[in-house]
Structure 1
Amino acid sequence: MPAPFHLLHHHHNYITIFFFFLLLLLFFPIHSLTPGSSVSVENTDDIITSPNSLFTAGFHKVGDNAYCFAIWFSDHLPTTSRTIVWMANRDEPVNGKHSKLSLQKDGNLVLTDAGRYIIWSTQTRSNNSMNLQLHDTGNLILQEQGTLVWQSFDHPTDTLLPNQPFTKNTQLVASTSPTNYSSGFYKLFFDTDSILRLHYDSLETTTIFWPDPSLRPWEVGRYQYLYSQRASLDSQGRFNSTDGLGFVSADFGYGPQRMMKIDMDGNLRLYSLVKHGTSMEWKVQWQAVSHSCRIHGVCGQNSLCTYSQDSGRTCTCLHGYKMVNSKDWSYGCEPDFKVCKPEDKDFVELRYVEFYSYDIRYHRNYTLDACKNNCLHDCACQGFQFGYDDDGTYYCYIKTILYNGYQMGFYNPMYIKLPKTLVSSFQQKPIKYKSSFHCSNPITVTPIIRSYENRPDNKMIPFLLIIGCVIGFIEIICILFFWIKTHRTSVRTNQSYYYSPAVTPFRKFTYSELKKATSNFRHEIGRGAAGVVYKGRLADNRISAIKKLKSISNHQNEDEFQAEISTIGRLNHKNLTETWGYCAEGQHRLIVYEYMENGSLAENLRLRKLNWDTLLDVVKGTVKGLAYLHEECLEWVLHCDVKPHNILLDGNYNPKVADFGLSRVLDRGDVKNSRFSTTRGTRGYMAPEWVFKLPITSKVDVFSYGVVVLEMITGRGPGGKKERMDEDGETEAGVVEWVRNRVSELEGNGSESWVEDVANGTISGVFDRGMVEKLIRIALLCAEDDMEVRPSKSQVVNMLLDQVNSR
């Protein structure tokens, strides 16, 4: 064979091998991404599949020229679209041109919009080779040489897959609508009391509706204040949660594909993929709320929800009201009448109807006429629930908002306040509980309008540079001329602008600064009703705790935020957490605190890390901090949520009261105006004033402090559940009642060791028996039901100091 022909033959073999591998790339699915590779939105075949082909990851169209990177079940069902189980950018869709998901060479997984704007990233870094894979479980995993670096299971959207952990750092958020995947109003999360709850959080109101808020946790089989919050669904359809919630799927056992999802209507459901005829479909095997009208917010304000087996759930506006948005019931209804004088108003009676919560007053032993008269002369009153207790005593709940209305056999009638003209028409034509709203048109996808500048042609660059230089030269001349003419006025104006929050001595941060400091809010260290706390490193290398509050949507809330920030700026005490700054940018509200190295008192009590001397210092330091808030500030600052979780310990175990900045600020001594629209605090630590709607004073913090001290000494939770369970695992009365009974019983028997019995080995090391006895008696005095009997915080300080000096 001639030499040239021999070389041509080998060259032909290389070309064949090249095209063979090219065909593999084009027709076989991708199972992973390596550094430098990407998935493009423009190529519909550019996807990542799991090895078992059950799951697919790629770009999913969510609107007109709008896409999200998502994971879905690979099999398309005949009557439905893709079953999405996870999304990276559900609230920020990307453009249909030049957008891509890329695994950069530095180890960061980045979603880029239109080839230029970073929308989402994992914020990961690595000097070694990284690899992105979609596993058979539906978990998208970024790993470095076999070590897990990031996974989608830690950041769920609205779906929980089998064996996916659900913790205190995660939550499920429902979609807005079937065609709008953005975050809606309903959430599933572990609350601050360690209970798994369903939460309705709209722009106007926020409320918990599952488990049933009218029942206590133990009445529905839940357990509070646990130090572990974790739940999961296994492959057989069994769900277990640390708070006691547990159930099994109706088709329990291995076999069908399953998923747990919080649907757009707010209900939590467990689905199985089952065969129906010749096709497959998702069937509900369990749901959290059996009566869909009990889900808060489903029909909006001033509306009524009814349910029947035939027509399902329907919504209707109350008599005299009309829909706000004819296409969406979540907006509720608005009055179709003008506000008039009390003498022009009357009531209509709705039987078997209840509007849950939003009570501004409770009147016991009231007649129906007394309830009507009370509501008529209160502009805030929209109606009242009238009924009687088991002992035959009549009562009425005065309501300021008509929310969560439903008809389901509730015996006590509801009375709605309306103009007399509407009352008469209602009597002539009784209300019909049928929805007048029908979806006659098919569901349409709302286009997402966005525009992007085209990339300039290279030939235009010199021309644009010349124009830019000319414009820049003209601007410089104008700026110099304006500066010379208005130098003094400009300086005064700039200084006034820069020091606009003059009453705050700390810094105002930008949102981008705090986002960078927390690595895009990655390291969560705490969560509460007001927001989430993250650990961050500021530009000056100070470690801080950054609290991200809920969005503020109106000017009134903005004014309150600025006023409370000003008050925080004047607080200065060694036993209060120090505030370093805040952010008020757009809808973002954040507060920057000092970071406490030794965590919360609750965590230290659980680990039994505190000896007697440290415990005593915490008791004294905490009461000094609260006494400062109550009696030394210019304003009257109530904490309203004193508990071990809100008492933090610095590097030297010095206690500092936290979460006081946004509690409540009132004029000192203005008890008449100290009624709160909603209760505040944590069950078990709340004073009786909250329950009986009495005037709220500083004595509510005194009560909570007493419960905390007893918890520190006895090791028992506020609700009575032992932190150190006996062998029989019994559950006893609340800690206050238990201690009071033990002291009375043992002293009555002449026992001299009742202090040791109450402490029961909780306090580590040697302790002063006399001081412990004094602490118990002071704590019981603070936790008295009668607020007049409780001492003030300064009196408690004096009691403790007198005891210390007498030792």
Structure 2
Amino acid sequence: MAVSLMLHFPLLLSLFFQSSSSSHNSRFSLSVEKPEDVILSQNGVFSAGFYLVGENAYVFSIWFAQTLAVVWTANRDRSINGKRSSLSIHRTGNLVLSDAGQYEVWSTATTSSLPTQLILNNNGNLVLYEHQLRGSKILWESFDFPTDTLLPGQQLTRYTKLVSARSETNYSSGFYKLVFDDENVLTLLYDGPDVSSKYWPSPWLKSWEADRNIYDSSRIAVLDSLGGFSSTDKYNFTTSDYGVLIQRRLKLDPDGNIRVYSLQNNLWEVTWQAISDACIVHGLCGADSTCVYDPREGRKCSCLPGYRVKNHSDWSYGCEPTFKLSCNKKETTFFKLQDVELYGYDFFYKENISYSDCENECIEDCECRAFQYSFNHDGLFQCYAKRVLLNGRRSPDFRGTTYLRLPKTKRNNVSFFADEEFAQDNGHICSVKLDRAYAKRHVSSFLKFFLWFSVAIGLVEVLFISMTWFYLIRTKQKSDGNQQGYNFLSPFGFRKYTYSELKQATKGFTEEIGRGAGGIVYKGVLPDQRTAAIKNLHDDNIGAKRDEAEFLAEVSIIGKLNHMNLIEMWGYCAEGKHRLLVYEYLEKGSLADNLKSNTLDWTKRYNIALGTARVLAYLHEECLEWILHCDIKPQNILLGSNYQPKVADFGLSKLLNRSDQHTQNFSVVRGTRGYMAPEWVFNLPITSKVDVYSFGIVVLEMITGRSPTMMGGQSDKAEEAHNERLVMWVREKRKKMTSEEEGSSSSSWVEQIIEAAIGSEFDVEKKKMETLANVALKCVEEDKDARPSMSQVVEMLQSHEDDAS
């Protein structure tokens, strides 16, 4: 009995510290295990709390108390467990949603040293207030982060958007978005797994032809309490019950249509909708299909002749061919589809062309799958050739015909909308029930002994790292014989995928979006329809041991980190020799790609540098462990939709104890030529200053547009032959200009090094670039002790921001 208590003592000790820390850091908390933990608005109209969306799957939402209609969700794409999950305000002023008492799923990312309070207002706006001596200040509010619904008085702006749910039963993000486009026009977009397209207002109309005003850049749209909607692009409407003061909501539904719902006799009635013909919405029936709309029967999706449905429960997957096309012209024929239009994605268009010439154009191209032949209002015939068959719609209003390419052997066996193999009378998105497995901690006898041993020698931090490490090894040993355990929650809070799932998600690893020493990154679409970046680590026999170590390091490190400027990891695969990591996909790509295409103005470049500096300061100084990235370069800095930087690729990172920050415990040189600090070359002790140096090189590259890897020779005898060329060039420019123009503005030297492609914008951001250049030169000092820490870099950059404001 005494031995048993001794073995359990370290585990009990760690649980005690976790519990006491939680109670110390939070002053407000809601528990998912207590149904009575609900926030009510003062008028009783709205409630906020934990909402059940599947088997043991919950989200934190706001809903109408009377009808349970959800209007906002915090974690729609990452549900939490029904055990030990909570929402709490920490003493730092941050509102945090935690999953199973272990992982931070969502937060407001706010800070305050003053008392804070969370209030659900009568209009349905959840607000986090900071109480000051002269009143209250809003730290965060849900109205600034809508999901798929706008409430009366809630504004849709240039910084916000509505995103539909995946289906009526799956609340995760779907394919449809309501946003202001680049022309200041309120627009509906289909943003599918493979393609994106605008469908409202009519894409073939110019903005002014659709009665939209493009000259007001304020971009604000709002629904008022009486049922009137107004937008700065002059799109206005009133609901059918306008003038009556009742509960309303404007919602972007899973079918891609915007509707206003009014509560009448305890039922939600549609009192306005944007689109009357449901088939106008893109992507509803998927590829290789057609949509037919009947006002009485609704929408009907059908596969094209010779095609069959992919997923009988979800038409968004579309159809697939039951044949293979040949390039042999003699084996090809065309099937006439009267009144059928396949909108968009033409690989060529020709006007005033005969039918036979149009047909020959398609036959000559082996990838041509159909062509559209119609005539316009001027009486000219038009030919549209298609390699992809999307947005199919059958309508008597379409003045044209589509000719579908088929093998001659198949032509006589198909008839349009006749065979049950090709026609499917189901236009509904699938009903997906979410499932969340509760991740229970399992401690084997060996781990208990290891815990006891670790506490005995005082290495509490090593204890947690070792538990993670051995759990992954045990999982790897069992993966070959038992694949049934891959869909539950891992010890890190991520999903474990099978190799076949990720192979299917990436279409056989076909769309490569990046590669490096650690592996190749592919774009993929997960089973829940989220677009992901999937990194396949090298699995050759020579590097198998090294790859496994990189895989375990990357998973274990990222599992401990949480920062707005770090790439978010969603899952992984450890099956046989396969090692894969699943990350969020950032549509803007890497900093390297954007620097090549000159898409970044000086403000964006400054903000990217500041965001990168903040996350490196977090890694170096705010984590329990001392974390070095060791491979900071533009390729590892990814950009989100608003150009917010996110640091990625921890395959080369190093996790050490804070008491051992001067170490040579690196078996191999790490990093990328051109960005490596001199310490690597001269075998000096490695500290966090290697990341500071790499950061400085990246900043110089952002300012000058010159890559350090392109300025040096091809010799391998010294790394500084590459990056030192760039550093010395910048230093010489500063020295020369300050000596020649003594007494002039100290920023004049920066004008000599900025990238010429966007130099015309420099005058506005001169002070920013001067600050950034000086900070970068401090970071690339040869002597590591002369370089600032990353927290000092953040202070220098932020002080400039404060002075400017």
The answer to whether the superposition gives a TM-score over 0.5 is yes
- 2:372 aligns with 385
Match of 1:302 among 279, 284, 288: 288
- 2:310 aligns with 324
Match of 2:639 among 530, 541, 547: 547
Provide the secondary structure at the position in 2 that maps to 1:264: coil
Match of 2:400 among 412, 428, 439: 412
Q: Which deviations, in whole Å up to 9, do the C-alpha atoms of 1:696-734 show, x marking residues without a partner? A: xxxxxxxxxxxxxxxxxxxxxxxxxxxxxxxxxxxxxxx
**In the alignment, does 2:202 pair up with 1:212?**
yes
Query: Are 2:257 and 2:273, in contact at CA under 8 Å, matched by a contact in 1?
Result: yes
Query: Are 1:159 and 1:172, in contact at CA under 8 Å, matched by a contact in 2?
Result: yes
- 2:235 aligns with 245
Match of 1:283 among 253, 269, 273: 269
Match of 1:113 among 99, 110, 120: 99
Q: Which deviations, in whole Å up to 9, do the C-alpha atoms of 1:513-553 show, x marking residues without a partner? A: 99444899xxxxx99899997945246469999731599xx
Match of 2:382 among 395, 418, 430: 395
Match of 1:124 among 110, 117, 120: 110
Number of aligned positions between the proteins: 511
**In the alignment, does 2:550 pair up with 1:436?**
no
Query: Are 1:100 and 1:115, in contact at CA under 8 Å, matched by a contact in 2?
Result: yes
Structure 2 gaps of 5+ residues are 1-24, 467-515, 522-553, 569-585, 618-633, 644-671, 676-696, 710-747, 771-805
- 1:357 aligns with 344
Q: Which deviations, in whole Å up to 9, do the C-alpha atoms of 1:428-474 show, x marking residues without a partner? A: 9967999524599x98653424341337699995674249999999x
Mark the CA change 1:384 to 1:655 in structure 2 (over 3 Å): closer, same or farther: farther
Map 1:365-380 → 2, pairs under 5 A: 365-380=352-367
Deviation for aligned residue 1:368 = 0.9
- 1:100 aligns with 86
Mark the CA change 1:158 to 1:112 in structure 2 (over 3 Å): closer, same or farther: same
Provide the secondary structure at the position in 2 that maps to 1:218: helix
Deviation for aligned residue 1:193 = 2.0
Moved more, 509-518 or 302-311: 509-518
Q: Aligned partners of 2:708, 2:160: CA distance in 1, in Å? A: 28
Provide the secondary structure at the position in 2 that maps to 1:37: strand
**In the alignment, does 2:752 pair up with 1:651?**
no
Q: Which deviations, in whole Å up to 9, do the C-alpha atoms of 1:759-785 show, x marking residues without a partner? A: xxxxxxxxxxxxxxxxxxxxxxxxxxx
- 2:167 aligns with 177
- 2:435 aligns with 448
- 2:35 aligns with 44
Map 1:143-182 → 2, pairs under 5 A: 143-145=129-131, 146-182=136-172
Mark the CA change 1:249 to 1:388 in structure 2 (over 3 Å): closer, same or farther: same
Match of 2:257 among 248, 264, 267: 267
Deviation for aligned residue 1:391 = 3.7
Please, what is the CA RMSD of the aligned residues?
4.6
- 1:491 aligns with none
Larger RCO, structure (CA 8 Å, separation 6 or more)? 2
Mark the CA change 1:515 to 1:647 in structure 2 (over 3 Å): closer, same or farther: farther
Q: Which deviations, in whole Å up to 9, do the C-alpha atoms of 1:332-388 show, x marking residues without a partner? A: 000011232332111111111111001011122221111111111212211111122
Mark the CA change 1:155 to 1:654 in structure 2 (over 3 Å): closer, same or farther: closer
Mark the CA change 1:361 to 1:444 in structure 2 (over 3 Å): closer, same or farther: closer
Q: Aligned partners of 2:354, 2:293: CA distance in 1, in Å? A: 32
Mark the CA change 1:122 to 1:573 in structure 2 (over 3 Å): closer, same or farther: closer
Q: Which deviations, in whole Å up to 9, do the C-alpha atoms of 1:176-204 show, x marking residues without a partner? A: 11111000111111122221111111111
Q: Which amino acid aligns with 1:416?
A: L
Mark the CA change 1:178 to 1:573 in structure 2 (over 3 Å): closer, same or farther: closer
Provide the secondary structure at the position in 2 that maps to 1:180: coil
Given the two structures, how large is their TM-score scaled by the length of structure 1? 0.56
Q: Which amino acid aligns with 2:73?
A: M
Query: Are 2:168 and 2:431, in contact at CA under 8 Å, matched by a contact in 1?
Result: no
Mark the CA change 1:578 to 1:214 in structure 2 (over 3 Å): closer, same or farther: farther
- 1:256 aligns with 246
Q: Aligned partners of 1:367, 1:121: CA distance in 2, in Å? A: 61
Query: Are 1:188 and 1:262, in contact at CA under 8 Å, matched by a contact in 2?
Result: yes
**In the alignment, does 2:439 pair up with 1:347?**
no
Q: Aligned partners of 2:273, 2:708: CA distance in 1, in Å? A: 45
- 2:779 aligns with none
Mark the CA change 1:648 to 1:229 in structure 2 (over 3 Å): closer, same or farther: farther
Q: Aligned partners of 1:256, 1:580: CA distance in 2, in Å? A: 63
Map 1:56-67 → 2, pairs under 5 A: 56-67=47-58
Q: Aligned partners of 1:368, 1:438: CA distance in 2, in Å? A: 35
Query: Are 1:35 and 1:130, in contact at CA under 8 Å, matched by a contact in 2?
Result: no
- 2:727 aligns with none
Mark the CA change 1:538 to 1:262 in structure 2 (over 3 Å): closer, same or farther: closer
Deviation for aligned residue 1:424 = 2.0
Q: Which amino acid aligns with 2:288?
A: N
Deviation for aligned residue 1:397 = 0.8
Q: Which deviations, in whole Å up to 9, do the C-alpha atoms of 1:233-289 show, x marking residues without a partner? A: 1111111111111111111013221100000001111111112xxxx2111111111
Q: Aligned partners of 1:46, 1:139: CA distance in 2, in Å? A: 18
Deviation for aligned residue 1:51 = 0.4
Q: Aligned partners of 2:707, 2:639: CA distance in 1, in Å? A: 11
Provide the secondary structure at the position in 1 that maps to 2:214: coil
Query: Are 1:72 and 1:85, in contact at CA under 8 Å, matched by a contact in 2?
Result: yes
**In the alignment, does 2:302 pair up with 1:313?**
no
Provide the secondary structure at the position in 1 that maps to 2:413: helix
Deviation for aligned residue 1:498 = 8.0
Q: Which amino acid aligns with 1:454?
A: R
Q: Aligned partners of 1:95, 1:288: CA distance in 2, in Å? A: 37
Q: Aligned partners of 1:538, 1:439: CA distance in 2, in Å? A: 45
Q: Which deviations, in whole Å up to 9, do the C-alpha atoms of 1:148-169 show, x marking residues without a partner? A: 1100000111000000111111
Deviation for aligned residue 1:307 = 0.8
Q: Aligned partners of 1:96, 1:428: CA distance in 2, in Å? A: 50
Structure 1 gaps of 5+ residues are 1-33, 77-81, 476-495, 502-508, 521-525, 552-561, 582-616, 629-645, 657-807
Provide the secondary structure at the position in 1 that maps to 2:212: coil
- 2:182 aligns with 192
Q: Which deviations, in whole Å up to 9, do the C-alpha atoms of 1:69-90 show, x marking residues without a partner? A: 00000013xxxxx200000100
Query: Are 1:237 and 1:258, in contact at CA under 8 Å, matched by a contact in 2?
Result: yes
Q: Which amino acid aligns with 2:178?
A: L
Q: Aligned partners of 2:379, 2:434: CA distance in 1, in Å? A: 58
Percent identical residues: 36
Query: Are 1:107 and 1:124, in contact at CA under 8 Å, matched by a contact in 2?
Result: yes
Mark the CA change 1:69 to 1:418 in structure 2 (over 3 Å): closer, same or farther: same
Q: Which amino acid aligns with 1:423?
A: R
- 2:410 aligns with 422
Map 1:770-781 → 2, pairs under 5 A: none
**In the alignment, does 2:322 pair up with 1:336?**
yes
Q: Aligned partners of 2:369, 2:642: CA distance in 1, in Å? A: 28
Q: Aligned partners of 2:255, 2:102: CA distance in 1, in Å? A: 36
Query: Are 1:647 and 1:655, in contact at CA under 8 Å, matched by a contact in 2?
Result: no
Q: Aligned partners of 1:53, 1:458: CA distance in 2, in Å? A: 53
**In the alignment, does 2:216 pair up with 1:230?**
no
Deviation for aligned residue 1:392 = 3.2
Provide the secondary structure at the position in 2 that maps to 1:413: strand
Q: Which amino acid aligns with 2:343?
A: Y
